[in-house]
Amino acid sequence: MSAKRRAVIVAARRTAVTPRGGALSHLQADELAAPVLTRLIRDAGLTPGNVDHVLLGNALYGGGNPARLAALRAGLPQSVPALTIDTQCCSGLDAILMGARMIEAGAADCVLAGGTESFSRSPIRMRRPRTTDEDPVAYDRPPFAPPPFTDPDLAEAAAGLAQRMGISRKRQSDFAVRSHHRALAAEKATQDNLVFVDGGPGRDSFTRALSEKVAERAPVLAGVEETGVTAATIACEADGAAAVLLLAEDHPAAQAAPVLRILDDVSLGGDPADPALVPIAVAKALFSKGGIASRDLAVVELMEAYAVQAMVTAERLDLDLGSLNPLGGALARGHPIGASGAILAVQLFERLIRQETPTEGARSMGMALIAAAGGLGSGVLVEASVNKGG
């Protein structure tokens, strides 16, 4: 049996992440993504004509195909197809996994994949009247699970998880403080690798020197009981884009520099009432497929939509806090839904390739994990490599 055709990440970039209504609020999702795609092609030493496909995750668009808009804005040939994926928070990582699977199947050699989101420019949602005497009805989000499944507001689900697990407000606040401090410590080393967009900042503008005292005084969000789920322990709504350039491992352009080899990926479904727990099953499946344990991972990029969700996942998987989100997490950045999973992949590349250039023979593995509304979870296992091809 021939060896599996593997996909490798040869370049990874993202914009700064800014809160809803912030410095990126004047840009549509495709306008955020286009400069990232352009930069990736340049980073890899390729031309737009080398790209076989564009895949982008997006959760809040009102129709159309933002991936196609971004591809055309980025100057890709009209002949290059583009697909927008919506699996809510998993969208950006799922786009990368789908791109890798296309390469593994021999359907493409070069794929641009990631995610983009503008909370600020997302359309206002209304349900169309069924009869002439009805008015349109505005809504904040669509259903993520149909009856008879439970379809909780995600903040309420997080509050319920904190209550069941007995995770105090102070522990959640401390986790959020740690996320901000790590992001601040990494800021100078990482900001040169951000893609600047029109009018955007050169840093993640929500990141700050959050203190324990301020975090513990953060207001509890409306409708959520006093369970530690506060404005400090929930990732803020945000705008941003992130993507990677994937190549077949034997592609000539994959031989020029260290790469992230995609070893395995898993997408699973679980209980819609407890979406935060699905990444635990995803990680265990990746451990089993790879024959590894959590201690074998140099870096774990775990989505911090809610502090309690990340804390429970880390505890259940026995993750080393030293290797968990070493550059800070979404509690410090914000949560541009369709882009968040792709940001995790970019952070893996940043830590394992840009900051710790791999050497031949050394093995350094990382994992990205994310949950999504409706009871979905996705993860990827990667290895930093000096690529020899084949």
Side chain identity, residue 274: D
Distance CA 299, CA 364 (A): 8
Distance CA 324, CA 339 (A): 20
C-alpha of 379 from chain center: 10
Cite the DSSP H helix spans in the chain: 29-43, 66-73, 91-104, 154-165, 169-190, 212-216, 278-290, 307-316, 330-333, 337-349
Q: Would you list the DSSP string of 61-111?
A: --SS-HHHHHHHHTT--TTS-EEEE--GGGHHHHHHHHHHHHHHTTS-SEE
Active-site pick, 53, 180, 251, 335: 335
**H or E element at residue 18:** strand 18-19
Active-site pick, 26, 53, 89, 110: 89
Which residues have CB under 8 Å from 328's CB, separation 6+? 179, 180, 181, 182, 183, 184, 185, 186, 207
DSSP state letter for 161: H
Active site residue 89: yes
Nearest to 319 by CA among 330, 331, 310: 310
Residue 264 bridge partners (DSSP): 381
Distance CA 181, CA 63 (A): 38
Which residues have CB under 8 Å from 3's CB, separation 6+? 390
Which residues have CB under 8 Å from 263's CB, separation 6+? 6, 290, 365, 381, 382, 383
Active site residue 251: no
In the numeric block, the tokens 């092609």 are attached to 41
Q: Would you list the DSSP string of 331-376?
A: HHH-B-HHHHHHHHHHHHHIIIIISS---TT--EEEEEEEEETTTE
Residues noted as catalytic: 89, 335
